[in-house]
Amino acid sequence: MRVNDAITGFVLLAFAIVMFAYARTLPAIPGQEYGAAVFPMLIAVGLAGCGILMIASGFRQWQGAVIWNDWARTHHAWVRLAVIFALILAYILAAPVLGFAPTSITILLVFMLTMGVRWWIAAAVAIAATVLIQQTFVGLLRVPLPLGLLGP
């Protein structure tokens, strides 16, 4: 199944507009030159730009709103899609209890194994990505991530 880029672009543009509007409501950080809204607003602008490009591309190559490809007729593709949504839900439910690091490593590992990555590569990437995200958000951006079991 292939959804035309114009439709995906409209969804992405709508999401970017909502994200930008919400980010404007975030409070300023005392003592900082930039507030908590800057990073989400920059991401929203980038998503809006991508959405506009996808809309233009989709209208240029219009073959229909949805095209059913061979992969969409297989059981494995739908299982993988369901696993993605289940992992997102699992992160939402588990991160506050277990903490960011163990939840992230587990979810990335399950995701990559589901997609057919070798276990040792999946484990290395899951650990490296989690450490990189943790250091970026907590150390550089000063955004607290859930500590869960690792907390005080």
The model carries a pTM of 0.61
Same domain for 78 and 7, yes or no, is no
**Structural domain for 22, as ranges:** 1-73
Contacting residues for 25 by C-beta, under 8 A, at least 6 apart: 37
CA distances from residue 144 to 34, 40, 133 in whole angstroms, order as listed = 17, 15, 11
Same domain for 152 and 78, yes or no, is yes
Residue 3 is classified by DSSP as E
Instruction: Give the end of a domain, one of 73, 107, 129.
Output: 73
Same domain for 6 and 68, yes or no, is yes
Same domain for 89 and 150, yes or no, is yes
Same domain for 53 and 81, yes or no, is no
Mean pLDDT over each residue of the chain, to the nearest integer: 88
Q: Which of 10, 3, 12 is nearest to 44 (CA)?
A: 12
**Rounded distance between C-alpha atoms, residue 107 and residue 90, angstroms:** 8
Instruction: Give the end of a domain, one of 57, 73, 89.
Output: 73
139: left (phi over 0), alpha (psi -120 to 50) or beta: alpha
Residue 1's pLDDT band, with cuts at 50, 70 and 90, is: low
CA distances from residue 121 to 30, 87, 95, 128 in whole angstroms, order as listed = 42, 19, 23, 10
pLDDT tens, position by position, 10-64? 999 999 999 999 998 888 777 777 777 888 999 999 999 999 999 998 888 777 6
pLDDT tens, position by position, 95-111? 999 999 999 999 999 99
Same domain for 26 and 89, yes or no, is no
Structure tokens that stand for 144 in this block = 């607290």
Instruction: Give the end of a domain, one of 48, 73, 98.
Output: 73
Same domain for 138 and 105, yes or no, is yes
